[in-house]
Structure 1
């Protein structure tokens, strides 16, 4: 397939796309759906669509910082035990007014067990959400959470009306279809609404969901301005495209990239055996094979964050790879359960193929055979590739713990339920150590996130969330 794409991907041109007309965005994934994030698992096109047509109380700006959404301002009181939001005057897509009761109902539903929202487990510190006045709501906490605003800014926590007709903006669907055209919503707080209706075509965004190969071809043919949602899976295609360096952007994304243990039977039942696998993987060879300069890691936490201690490192980090592999090889040889074969769940794509090849070679070096299976198939280890939605060590530890031992689970639950921030920090540090000792997750790197960005998109900025709102792409041409 790659060979067939070479003639198309090499269509690099010298001229930029004209800075006129609507912005065209190719997001890697399926065509976008106007779907409620509380009920449906969404990919990049869906999330961009949701973020554009239905905002939360707050949202991310182009730099990944918090800015107003449905809430025009807010205060945090009682040491982080209460968040009070004043709602702006807003309207749903059908023209009806957004009410505080509707916002409270939506937030309450997001916290409920019936929600499929992946962020629901991190909202457990919220006690209740109540209406204080027709314009003011309060989020009351059982435990302090200084990072709550960053959670509320996620597109998965966008506010939707009970009868789903579309959210409150900041954009509206001007032309529906598989590649919808989005247009800035009219702000009801502006006196001259007629002036707002006279929008420029440059304010509009065409959102296309398509495979990475097609998105890159479209960009290189100057038929789009942005390729969004790139990961390690499709990074090798960027090299084939001969895209200009000025157009290739890498986000300084933070999060998890590694293998989580999803089967603790047989060879994987013993933490020492899991540690042998951890020691054997040549992280530098894997990351450099996918992309030169992609930094490897052997720790779960990228930094101290809200932990009371520095990130926990494995004991073997200072030992040379060949010595580590000798120890791991001896461990595998001592196993009396027969030949060790491990199923590793990986996504499809050239970057994933390269990564699996490197993992399989590392395991083969210590006497283990690796087989590749699809992400949804039964497996022994499964790849985790996720950008952190907010800067909490507990997010890293909870997502690394797909199948932890009792000690690690107990430590994580204790950290979640800590009554004070100081106690939470102490318990998070203890959970980090427990998870390292349990070897429930094998860190490899931080997430690789890339975009192809036309120079006309002057507001696009790399950021640690790897999130780029469609409303924050171009400078105002007028």
Structure 2
């Protein structure tokens, strides 16, 4: 029986990858709001000092090794024998100004707010650079591995990443492995199977291409696309779900009317049947009631909200009582505008939320994700690193002055114990303020051909194109 008859793509030719989204472009100077296709292409053609491996852990990038000293106030990197896309050797004198530009407050990328402790980037030798921090941050390597900090020199393809772009592909971007300068080029000729053909396309197109065995990987899937995948009914062995770390819940955007009272905001939080919501999507998608998924670097375990101390079966009645009291005073049911994605997954989420809110007497209205008049907005973000302040800052869309002040104190803390104490206080204040309604962790899925033996689920939900297959050599 042939591999195709078994439902497998033969392990020949380039790895064909579809990323859900628009056509990818390399991020160069303007790194604001990079799409998933942009990030994946940038990570392939360029790299930062470090990068992510197949399981979301740190591996060498432009730097071959590094040390973190002075309680996380100094990072020293030794560069490897790397070359840029034009063949020129990578040297510290070029890396330093590129890094300074990437770390500048004007970079305006999604991780810039979490790099404010960086004080200087200096060249120590032609092969060694040091990043000095004003405050201790022993947990920044995962930020340095983000595609937003990939180093691009002299044009859109001018990086030192694991791939080089090749002309000639009619449908997609053809990538071929970069040659190792320490090896004989004649001995290192890449095989066709080491090449990657990358496309950015709509979820329906990408899924259909995979189901018809014309591609090897669909990546970048979210809850919004999940119903499309279920309708296509691919082989279960090909469906892979990441244990993504991050936030998935409703941020309070407006604090007026019914939402001006934290007890009323708590009624909204306790009205949602999380187990039913997550269980209807996937059996292993866990419900969450706290902002922090675990203690991380906070000085205390995640704060459990007051509303969560009630047994689940008693929560709807308690929420209805709050809404009834409001209605008795104001003469009408509260109306809340929920900003959700417009795709089929957003509709699925809306069905669950609307049912639960109607059941307690609230009239929900669905609005677009970017609607300026929304009362609550879905936050669906994968955490770039395992840091309590990231969770608290991203959840604090419209939180109390006290909670915002504690989050800022965590950013400015001069010692790790002070930072832990400030994060614990911020978690407590933000939870008591009910400024965010946690639902679960981000839902991220991929379709993976069996030929991609190195693909691994991981908390970053990140799958570098050079870590998909076992090297045939």
State the TM-score, normalizing by the size of structure 2. Answer: 0.94
Q: Distance in 2 between matches of 1:71 and 1:263?
A: 45
Instruction: Look up the SS of the partner of 1:182 in the other structure.
Output: strand
- 1:471 maps to 466
Question: Are positions 1:334 and 2:325 aligned together?
Answer: yes
Shift, 1:324, TM fit:
2.0
Q: Distance in 2 between matches of 1:352 and 1:284?
A: 17
- 1:357 maps to 351
- 1:9 maps to none
- 1:72 maps to 64
1:181 pairs with one of 174, 180, 185: 174
Q: What is the total number of aligned residue pairs between the two structures?
A: 465
Distance 1:214-1:82 versus aligned 2 partners, 3 A rule: same
Q: Distance in 1 between matches of 2:42 and 2:149?
A: 10
- 1:223 maps to 214
Listed one character per residue, the Cα deviations across residues 317-376 of structure 1 (whole Å, up to 9, x for unaligned) are 242345322222222233345432111111122222111111111111121111112212
1:93 pairs with one of 71, 85, 88: 85
2:158 pairs with one of 155, 159, 166: 166
- 1:126 maps to 118
- 2:436 maps to 441
Shift, 1:13, TM fit:
6.5
Question: Are positions 1:154 and 2:149 aligned together?
Answer: no
Please say if residues 31 and 178 of structure 1, whose CA atoms lie closer than 8 Å, have aligned partners that are also in contact: no
- 1:410 maps to 405
RMSD: 1.8
Please say if residues 31 and 148 of structure 2, whose CA atoms lie closer than 8 Å, have aligned partners that are also in contact: no
Please say if residues 32 and 46 of structure 1, whose CA atoms lie closer than 8 Å, have aligned partners that are also in contact: yes
- 1:214 maps to 205
Distance 1:39-1:177 versus aligned 2 partners, 3 A rule: farther
Listed one character per residue, the Cα deviations across residues 71-118 of structure 1 (whole Å, up to 9, x for unaligned) are 011111212111011112323223333332332222222222221210
Distance 1:30-1:145 versus aligned 2 partners, 3 A rule: same
Q: List aligned pairs for 1:269-348, cutoff 5 A.
A: 269-335=260-326, 336-337=329-330, 338-348=332-342
Q: List aligned pairs for 1:377-388, cutoff 5 A.
A: 377-378=371-372, 379-388=374-383
- 2:194 maps to 203
Q: Distance in 2 between matches of 1:118 and 1:272?
A: 32
Instruction: Look up the SS of the partner of 2:237 in the other structure.
Output: helix
Q: Distance in 1 between matches of 2:70 and 2:26?
A: 38
Shift, 1:399, TM fit:
0.8
Distance 1:207-1:24 versus aligned 2 partners, 3 A rule: same
- 1:108 maps to 100
Q: Distance in 1 between matches of 2:335 and 2:377?
A: 14
2:20 pairs with one of 28, 37, 40: 28
Shift, 1:212, TM fit:
1.3
Q: Distance in 2 between matches of 1:142 and 1:40?
A: 25
Question: Which sections of structure 1, spanning at least 5 residues, go unmatched?
Answer: 1-11
Instruction: Look up the SS of the partner of 1:325 in the other structure.
Output: helix
Question: Which sections of structure 2, spanning at least 5 residues, go unmatched?
Answer: none
